[in-house]
Amino acid sequence: MINCSFCKSSEDIVFAGKHYNKKGETQRYKCNICKRRFVPNDGFWKMKHTPEIVAEALSCKKRGMPYEEVSKHFREYDKANISAVTVFNWVKKYRNTFDGFQKKKGGERQHREQG
């Protein structure tokens, strides 16, 4: 179910074309109650790079790579042209989500090893 980003209504929402950027295309919607168009927030709202790039950068940092090395890694393999500051901002923005995911995965792993 899609909720309008502006009026929070979920009632009269219709398709309204596509939105294109570096990430690719995403579905755009129109709320017929407030008459505004929007793209739903998927956790990566207004991000220029794909969620896969962000996740890989966070993973590299989690494995102990310095910010400059993560940036260099992406430039060397032509995956993305991101700066060390961008990686730092992503780590700061998604730290709680990423740490929660790691703890959940770690808990499942311990449970399987004990069982």
Q: What is the pLDDT of residues 13-68, one digit of tens each?
A: 999 999 887 777 889 999 999 999 998 887 777 788 888 898 899 999 989 999 99
Helix, strand or coil for residue 109?
helix
Give domain status of residue 112, yes or no.
Answer: no
Q: Give per-residue pLDDT as tens, 90-110.
A: 999 888 776 665 555 555 444
Phi and psi at 3, nearest 5°, equal -110, 145
Same structural domain, 55 and 100? yes
pLDDT for the residue numbered 101: 57
Which residue range is the domain that position 36 belongs to? 1-42
pTM given for the model:
0.64
Give the whole-angstrom CA distance, residue 31 versus residue 84.
38
Would 77 be classed as within a structural domain?
yes
Q: Are residues 57 and 26 in the same domain?
A: no
113: in domain:
no
Q: What per-residue string of b and e applies to 44-67 under the rule 16 or more CB within 10 Å gives b?
A: beebebeeebbebbbebbeeebeb
Whether 93 maps to a domain, the answer reads: yes
Structural domains counted in the chain: 2
In a domain, 30, yes or no: yes
* Domain shared by 38 and 59, yes or no: no
pLDDT at 109: 46
Q: Does the residue 88 lie in any domain?
A: yes
Res. 82: pLDDT tops 50: yes
